[in-house]
C-alpha cells in the first residue's frame, strides 16, 4: 500500500531561520504531490502542488518544494520563517489521475518570536 513519511513530528525554529520539512513516499509510479497547511483551529489549506514539469514548485507565502523522483521525496522549504508560519504541515500523495489522497502524519512547526 502507498505510504507517506514525514521525517519530523515537531520542529521548533526561531524567526528568520530556514525551514526544510522532509517528505518521502513509497509509490513507484507517477504521482501527484501536495503540501497542505493547517493553522491553529483552522481547516487544511493548499500550500503548493506538483503534477509535472519543473520539479521546483513555488507556493503561497514564500514556500517552495522540490520533487526528486529518484529519492521519492518532496521536501518543503522556506528561506526565512515567520511567527505566523506556526502550524501543522501535511505532505500528501496520490497516484496520477487517482482518487485517493494519502497523507503523512504531519509536522508541527512552532516558530518562536
Partner 1 sequence: NAGVTQTPKFQVLKTGQSMTLQCAQDMNHNSMYWYRQDPGMGLRLIYYSASEGTTDKGEVPNGYNVSRLNKREFSLRLESAAPSQTSVYFCASRRDRGLNEQFFGPGTRLTVL
Instruction: State the binding string over 83-102 for partner 1 (x if CB under 8 A, else -).
Output: -------x-x----xxxxxx
Distance CA 47, CA 60 (A): 6
DSSP helix/strand/coil, 61: helix
Phi-psi region of 65 (alpha: psi -120 to 50; beta: other; left: phi over 0): beta
Per CB under 8 A, does 39 bind partner 1? no
Residues 28 and 70 sit within 8 Å (Cβ to Cβ): no
Instruction: State the binding string over 9-28 for partner 1 (x if CB under 8 A, else -).
Output: x-------------------
Binder of partner 1 out of 8, 51, 55, 71 (CB under 8 A): 51
Per CB under 8 A, does 103 bind partner 1? yes
Give the length of the chain: 113
Using the minimum distance from each CB to partner 1, give the nearer residue, 16 or 60: 60
Tell me which residues touch partner 1 (CB under 8 A): 4, 6, 9, 32, 34, 36, 42-46, 49, 51, 90, 92, 97-106
Amino acid at each position: 500500500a502507498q505510504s507517506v513519511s514525514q521525517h519530523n513530528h515537531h520542529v521548533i525554529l526561531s524567526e528568520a531561520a530556514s525551514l526544510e520539512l522532509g517528505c518521502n513516499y513509497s509509490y513507484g509510479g507517477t504521482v501527484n504531490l501536495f503540501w497542505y497547511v493547517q493553522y491553529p483551529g483552522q481547516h487544511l489549506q493548499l500550500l503548493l502542488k506538483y503534477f509535472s514539469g519543473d520539479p521546483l514548485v513555488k507556493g503561497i507565502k514564500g514556500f517552495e518544494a522540490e520533487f526528486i523522483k529518484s529519492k521519492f521525496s518532496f521536501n518543503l522549504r522556506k528561506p526565512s520563517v515567520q511567527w505566523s508560519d506556526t502550524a501543522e504541515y501535511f505532505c500528501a500523495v496520490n497516484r496520477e489521475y487517482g482518487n485517493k489522497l494519502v497523507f503523512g502524519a504531519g509536522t508541527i512547526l512552532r516558530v518562536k518570536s
